[in-house]
Amino acid sequence: MLLRLFLLAVCSFPFAVSALNLQAEARAATAAQAKREALAALAESIFITVKSETNSVTESTGRQKQSLQLQTSSDVPLMGVETRTQQSGAEFVCTVKLDAAKSALAYRQRVGELFIEINELDNRIARTKSPSNQYSMLIHALTVLEQYEKYKAVAQLLGETQFAVLSRSRQDTEAQLRALEKAAFSLELAAQILSKKLQAEKVFVFPAMPQGSHEVTAFGRLMRDRLAELLPTVEHPDQASQFFKGEYEILENGIHLTYRLVDRSGNTLLTRVATLAPAAYQGLQVQPVTVDFDRLLHQGVVLSNNFRVQLSTNHGGENVLFIEKQKVKLLVKLNRPGYFYVVGHVLKAGENQSYLLELSNADSDRRFVRFVNADEVDHWIAIGGAEGFEASAPFGVESLQVIASSDDPLNRLPPHVLNRSSELYVIAENAQQGITQTRALKPVRTQSDQVYQQEAVLMFTIMKSE
């Protein structure tokens, strides 16, 4: 089977959001793995809820009311979570729940502590005359600001509405850092600056992502490779104790690059920044090429605790990069019995289309639909065969959109035509049209029925080996 395959770096968050309770469940061979997957699913629930609430308060001018930095869904810190693990046969089932009434106080207190710390740092930065001391304090302030924004986001989600105004912002701090920095003239030097005296172990390094994009660029990949040469890295996110996650902003006279060391609980341990002169990345792709498509793909994704679908790969579900000949496994998980189908989107030079992914060898349209029974609920299901695919040309950005429903979607599949040359069942000759067309095909609901439909999206990049 031919593979045609690419989380929001910056999003905004509204003020007053009604309090709610969120929970997630996972099954695995060990209690530790079940707990880890359940907590990750809960963090993703919070992250997607933040994004969906944000979209609802975008003003008519396009401006949004408040800025918030959330690197990825796994970065959301969890406090006051109730955990229950039981053994069921040969596996363990872990249920985790975040109760607004019990957790809101803990988040509010943590936000207050970080607020005081930021103001104290601001006073110390203003008093110091040493550029080196000021630089160190600004780096620390950036880390504390990152933590403040994360805890504040969850506190708002749990119903908190009153927050004092900070004495400094992330933007102020980054501007002061840029004024003190000397631009690095090579990727190697930038990697040395970012990794110097970094107390890390079993770290997984992600590619540096363009601000506001899910697309891995050539610059992001090479920055990851240079850092991996200098740090005690692991090959897979599941093996990591810590994650080094990068984001960059393209300026008129260079690139401002930020990397954060994050633990498995979503806490930012430290922040490092570097500015790269244009000579450092001359000839490399730094601009994402799928900005409009990326925004359309990820906007409008909402979440329900009643019915939920997740989409991932054997290398995780965020900042995903595959190199030529790597094994690619696609994984889907539902939290209750139901059906799903998968739409692939290609948006490359000379190639722009959407297609249905075959999930079985059935002779009819049933080949596109997969049923998840009660025994498979909360388990990762490999699609496209247990061995998966091999990453190969054509290289570039690809996307997947999984549509799950509690009823059989066979009669709601997008119209499709077999392309004999590519052997793909094409639904649109334009990827943006393909997304719009798929989202328009929703089941008709009445007040008495219990029909649900949810979706998940994934964007990743396949690149040629060096």
Q: Digits of tens for pLDDT over the chain (466 positions)?
A: 333 332 222 223 333 334 456 788 889 889 998 998 888 888 877 776 655 554 444 444 443 333 344 555 667 888 888 899 999 888 999 999 888 878 888 999 999 999 999 999 999 999 998 887 888 899 899 999 989 988 998 888 888 888 989 999 988 998 888 888 788 889 999 999 999 888 888 999 999 999 989 999 999 999 999 999 999 999 888 899 999 999 999 998 899 999 999 998 889 999 999 999 999 999 999 999 888 888 888 876 666 667 889 899 888 888 889 998 888 889 999 989 999 999 999 877 778 889 999 998 888 999 999 999 999 998 899 887 667 788 887 788 889 999 999 889 999 999 999 888 878 899 988 888 888 888 777 665 555 556 678 889 999 888 988 7
Residues 6+ apart with CB under 8 A from 253: 183, 277, 278
Q: Which helix (H) or strand (E) holds 65?
A: none
Give yes or no for a contact between 227 and 195, defined as CB atoms under 8 angstroms apart: yes
Whole-number pLDDT of residue 17: 35
Residues 6+ apart with CB under 8 A from 420: none
Q: Can you list the positions of beta strands (E) in 252-308?
A: 254-263, 268-276
Task: Quote the CA–CA distance of 367 and 362 in Å, as a whole number.
Answer: 5
**Residue 446, token pair as written in the block:** 């009445």
Whole-number pLDDT of residue 117: 96
**Which of 21, 29, 31 is closest to 84 using CA atoms?**
31
pTM of the predicted model as reported, rounded to 2 decimal places: 0.75
Whole-number pLDDT of residue 57: 42
Neighbours of 210 (CB within 10 A): 23
b/e sequence 416-443, b meaning 16+ C-beta within 10 Å: beeeeeeebbbbbeebbebbebbbeeee
Whole-number pLDDT of residue 200: 86
Task: Quote the CA–CA distance of 289 and 287 in Å, as a whole number.
Answer: 6
Task: Quote the CA–CA distance of 183 and 273 in Å, as a whole number.
Answer: 11
81 φ/ψ angles, rounded to the nearest 5 degrees: -85, 130
**Residue 241, token pair as written in the block:** 């104790």
Whole-number pLDDT of residue 317: 84
**Amino acid code (one letter) for 359:** L
b/e sequence 311-327, b meaning 16+ C-beta within 10 Å: bbbbbbbbbbbbeeebe
Whole-number pLDDT of residue 154: 85
